[in-house]
Each structure stands twice: as C-alpha cells, then as structure tokens.
Amino acid sequence: MKIGKLSNEQLSQLVLSRLPALSSSTVVGADIGADCAWIDLGSQMMVISSDPITAGGMESGTLTIHVSCNDIAACGVRPTGILIDIIAPPSCDEKDISKIVDDASREARKIGVDIVGGHTEVSGSVNTFVVISTAFGLISKDHPVPLGHAMEGDSLIVTKTCGIEGSYIAVKEHLDKLSSVPSHMIQKAQAYSSLISVVPEGVICGNLTASSGEVNSRGYKLCAANLLHDVTEGGILGASYEMAHISGLGLIIDERLIPVTEETSMICDTLGINPFRLISSGSMLIASPEPQRILDELHKGGIDACVIGRFKGKDEGFFRIDKNTGEQVELTPPQADELYGM
C-alpha cells in the first residue's frame, strides 16, 4: 500500500464500514473529514481527537501537541487536556526521548493545555519516532457550535499561509537538500513552530454566534462558522476537498488567492513539491455564510485571513483555478502528503 493517509474510498471500505454502531451518548463519531468525536456528558459536551506524528523526526514533540489540539480548536472549542504516546526506535538514546517530552511540555504550556497521561516505549517495530496524541476539550451546552458541514454559497476562508508545518519540518529534517535556499529564509522557516497552533482562531470562531440565531437539530445555538478544518496531510487542497466531501457539496478554490510566503515557495521549488498539497498545521479553513464577520474578528485578534473559494451545489463538482494558467481544472481527492515523497 502507498505511504500516507488512506484514500477516502479505502477509509470507508477498510475502516468506517467495519465499526460498530454508536451509542446514544456519541453525538458525532468517525466519518470522512470528521476529525473529532462529540460526546454528550449531560450538562457538558466533550470533544476528542487523536493524531499521529510519523514524519516529524526529532521535532515530533513540538508537533504532536498542536496536531490534536488544532482538531479540538477546529470545533470552536479550547483544548483542555492531552495524552501522548511515544514509540521510540532502538537507535535513539535517552536524550532523544527527553527532547521529545521537553518540546511537548513547552508547547503545551504555551497554549494552556494539560498533559494528563500517555505511554512511552522503545520498539523495534519503528525506525523513527512515532508520537501519537489524543486531545480533548469541554464546553457547556449553551456554547455556540459549528453546524458540522458547509452550506451551498458559504465562503472558504484560510488563516495565515499554506505549507507552514511542512516548511518547518523540511528545514529541520531535510536541511541538507536546501543548500540553495538563502540562510535568512531558512531561519524564518525554522521559526514557523510559533505559527503551528490554530487554537486562537478556533476559539475566536467558536465564540462568534451566528447572526441568524439558528440552532442545530439538537437545539444547540450555531456559531458564524459552519465548518472549521485544520490543514494537515494533503495541504490546503486536500483539506478543502475533504470539507466539500463531508458536506456533500461542490467546491471552487482559487489557487491565486492562497497565501504563500517567499520562504515556503522557495523551499517547495527547491524540493520539487507542491505547497498547496503540503502538510500545513497552523492554517485553518473556515466555511461561513458571514465571511466578513469572521475576517473582521480574526483581524482584531491579529490573525491574517482571506477568502480563497466558495462551496457550490452538490452536483457542481470539485474544481480549482490553477495558479499558473488561470484555468479551471478538476480538484482531485487528497493523496499522500508531498512530504512523503522526499
């Protein structure tokens, strides 16, 4: 099988179709594009998500906090706690394990999440660090929640820039391949670890109640963002496709509007990879019928954001406007992340 995430078809056939029925307390369970489970606890709701870091190398401690906490933030919820499992290769030493833990602890303190447990072992089954984190957040039932899917006509908003995490990993793990990239660009990309969290934008969107005053089918009031999605493996294009797919809608995304920094562009050109399909924790995609309200609140919070596309009717397909040609072409489903081809 190919390295990387399963295709949507494989995920459906090999995994999702084999899962047992959900209990009544599970409001949202496993599904394509659904990164978090929602559990009804009575007076509160718990949101839970789990993610692995498999290509982070010695930066896995930094990254593992953010990938799972970003999923919680993509529900408009502030993460509360996290568990971390570390599977270390026999080639590592004690200092390597300590670095993973120290880095994770530093990032957890930055965003105010408690590391509440996990597991650590050395295993001959891996040849590099595999770090898995499971994060959770709690909210009261009067807190606004996203609808859970985009609606036809919603604008597609992206925060920050594309390729954030991928650029950071590239300069940390593949520096030997980047000798032609100016040192000042390398230094900028090495500082991208400060951009990887999307907790601030998730909380901003989650606290913004929909102007319509609508509630969902369970009676919870809705926020102004119908659907939020942090950008991980497969990059901006892969995450956008997933949002449209889970929503049962079409999509048009304009690559010319997707922000890319000079350093990310040069790193990707040097490595021969597509920045729009590069892992990008640190960017959040937001579907909203009120894009200006969302943009205004994000900008007040010091977060750059812009509209890059629009959700269309379910029979209108998935398309992108090519950055180089300006032509409208098919947007294909997400494949293995560009980083895996290194």
Beta-bridged to residue 253, according to DSSP, are: 309, 320
Residue 212: pLDDT band with limits 50, 70, 90: confident
Same domain, 164 and 312: yes
Inter-residue contact 202 to 72 (CB < 8 Å): yes
CA distance 77 to 60: 24
Write the CATH number for 18.
3.30.1330.10
Q: Please determine, for residue 233, whether its predicted confidence score (pLDDT) is greater than 80.
A: yes
What would the mean pLDDT of 116-140 be, rounded to a whole number?
Answer: 96
Same domain, 334 and 258: yes
Residues 123 and 266 placed together within one structural domain of the fold: no
d(CA 262, CA 147): 35
Tell me, yes or no, whether 209 and 83 share the same domain. no
Q: Are residues 126 and 16 in the same domain?
A: yes
* pLDDT tens, position by position, 179-200: 999 999 999 999 998 999 999 9
pLDDT (average), residues 208-217: 87
224 inside domain: yes
> CATH no. for residue 312?
3.90.650.10
Asked if residue 301 is part of any domain, the answer here is: yes
Residues 29 and 120 in one domain: yes
Asked if 50 and 194 sit in the same domain, the reply is no
Angle between helical axes of 183-190 and 262-271 (0-180°, round to 10): 110
Whether 150 is covered by a domain: the verdict is no
Domain final residue, candidates 92, 114, 140: 140
DSSP 203-235: HHHHTSB-TT--B-TTSPBBBS-SEEEE--TTH
Contacts of residue 294, defined as CB under 8 A and 6 or more positions apart, other chains included, come to 157, 205, 208, 224, 225, 286, 288, 305
Average pLDDT over residues 105-121: 97
Are 103 and 198 within one domain? no
At 26, list the tokens: 């599970």
146 touches 226 (CB < 8 A): yes
182 & 136 share domain: no
pLDDT at 9: 85
Establish if 207 belongs to a structural domain: yes
Q: Give the C-alpha separation, 131 to 52, whole Å.
A: 6
Backbone angles phi, psi at 31, to 5 degrees: -165, 165
* Closest to 164 in 3D by CA, of 68, 268, 89, 88: 268
The pLDDT assigned to 63 comes to: 87
pLDDT tens track for 81-112: 999 999 999 999 999 999 999 999 999 999 99
Given pLDDT bands bounded at 50, 70 and 90, which one contains residue 31?
A: confident
Residues 209 and 66 reside in one and the same domain: no
Strand pairing of 250-254 and 305-312? antiparallel
Task: Mark residue 294 as left, alpha or beta (left: phi above 0; alpha: psi -120 to 50; beta: remaining).
Answer: alpha
Tell me the three state secondary structure of residue 52: strand
Domain span including residue 16: 8-140
Better-predicted residue by pLDDT, 323 or 28:
323
Section 243-252 average pLDDT = 94
Position 270 in a domain: yes
CB 250 within 8 A of CB 314: yes
Q: Is residue 147 part of a domain?
A: no
Handedness of CA 105, 108, 109, 114 (dihedral sign): negative
Residues 252 and 288 in one domain: yes
Give domain status of residue 148, yes or no: no
Q: Which range, 52-56, 230-234, 244-248, 294-298, is most confident?
A: 294-298
Asked if residue 75 belongs to a domain, the reply is yes
Which residue, of 140, 172, 205, is where some domain finishes? 140
User: What integer pLDDT is reported at residue 42 of this predicted model?
Assistant: 87
Whether 220 and 277 map to the same domain: the answer is yes
Domain boundary among 140, 167, 187: 140
DSSP for residue 45: E
- pTM, to two decimals: 0.85
Look at the chain and report how many structural domains it folds into: 2
Secondary structure class of 333 (helix, strand, coil): coil
